[in-house]
Amino acid sequence: MTKQSGRTWLKRAPLLAAPFFFAASAAAVPELSAGRRAELVHLVRQDCGSCHGMTLQGGLGPALTPEALRDKPAESLVATVVGGRPGTPMPPWRQFVSEAEAGWIVQELQAGFPP
């Protein structure tokens, strides 16, 4: 078996690769500068807060508290932040935050968002 066909095989076995992907992406939450973190906290409190409530307890959108998000996989929450939820008022934020930054936001939401 050549290296080439080995790689093709791996691509065809996403279930096999998935645990590695998740392990890698969980570790990929970035070290953001203090300035960028402050901007993201402001964005979440102001823009997300307009739908999810200023205290993130819910409003038009559901609560984004650690209790509400505890059992939800971070990957799907990140996908929701970046891509929105078509057919619902949840808009995509990819113009404003990178996927890595969305990962940081979700991590902080699940831990208890900074004031």
Among 80, 83, 99, 107, binds ligand HEC (CB under 6 A): 80
23 backbone dihedrals φ, ψ, rounded to 5°: -60, -45
Torsion sign over Cα 19, 98, 96, 65: positive
Q: Taking the complex as a whole, how short is the minimal distance between the CB of residue 15 and ligand HEC, in angstroms?
A: 24
Among 51, 53, 58, 99, binds ligand HEC (CB under 6 A): 51
Does the protein bind ligand HEC through residue 86 (CB under 6 A)? no
Q: Residue 34: how many CA atoms within 13 Å on its side-chain side?
A: 0
What tokens appear for 108 in the block? 């902080």
Q: Taking the complex as a whole, how short is the minimal distance between the CB of residue 62 and ligand HEC, in angstroms?
A: 5
Q: Which residues in this chain contact ligand HEC in the complex, by CB under 6 A?
A: 43-44, 47-48, 50-52, 60-62, 64, 68, 72, 77, 80-81, 85, 88-91, 93, 105
